[in-house]
Amino acid sequence: MSGPYHQLIYTSDASLDLTPEGLASIRDSSQRNNARDQITGILLHSGDQFLQVIEGPRAAVERLHRLIAADTRHEGMRTVLAHDVNQRDFGQWAMAVRELPPEQLAQHQALSQFFSPDFDLGSLRYGTPATFLLQAFRELNGAPEAP
């Protein structure tokens, strides 16, 4: 699909020395910079794992992708999906950040499958991967709050 926006979904492993302060700083930078750069999305942090969706104008998404890839607070980025879209799925959030206990992630098959190396996107029964994630977030504990 072609469209005016680019959307990227990836997972990564948090570095061993990521502190709550480090996470708070990622949240602050994200919400500030993304509002400036017309980027929206969600960031899930669970134990030593991240799952993020970023969307916006292609050049802005690619620039942010390079920046995030070079960030030593995580490693092992694996792209789940990168495609062009006609509309945003997370338009109201510069970056909605969620913490999820690892036990809860393990029990949540809909979310945890995104972390599997052989996850098949084609197996999703409804919606796009991003709307699927949004739905899973909502089921978990209500929609993320707008920053």
Ligand X SMILES: Cc1cc2nc3c(=O)[nH]c(=O)nc-3n(C[C@H](O)[C@H](O)[C@H](O)COP(=O)(O)O)c2cc1C
Q: Which is nearer to ligand X, 43 or 100 (CB)?
A: 43
CB of 106 to ligand X, least distance (A): 20
In the bound complex, what is the minimum distance in angstroms from residue 79's beta carbon to ligand X?
13
Nearer CB in complex with ligand X: 31/104:
31
Residues 39 and 56: beta-carbon distance below 8 Å: yes
Residue listed under structure tokens 């997972």: 11
Binding site for ligand X (CB under 6 A): 12, 26, 29-30, 33-34, 43, 50, 52, 54, 64, 67-68, 71, 73-74, 95
Tokens of 3: 């469209």
Q: What are phi and psi of 107, to 5 degrees?
A: -80, -15
Residue 106 burial (CB < 10 Å; 0-12/13-18/19+)? middle
Q: Which amino acid is at 13?
A: D
Residue placing its CB nearer to ligand X in the complex, 63 or 83: 63
CB of 63 to ligand X, least distance (A): 10
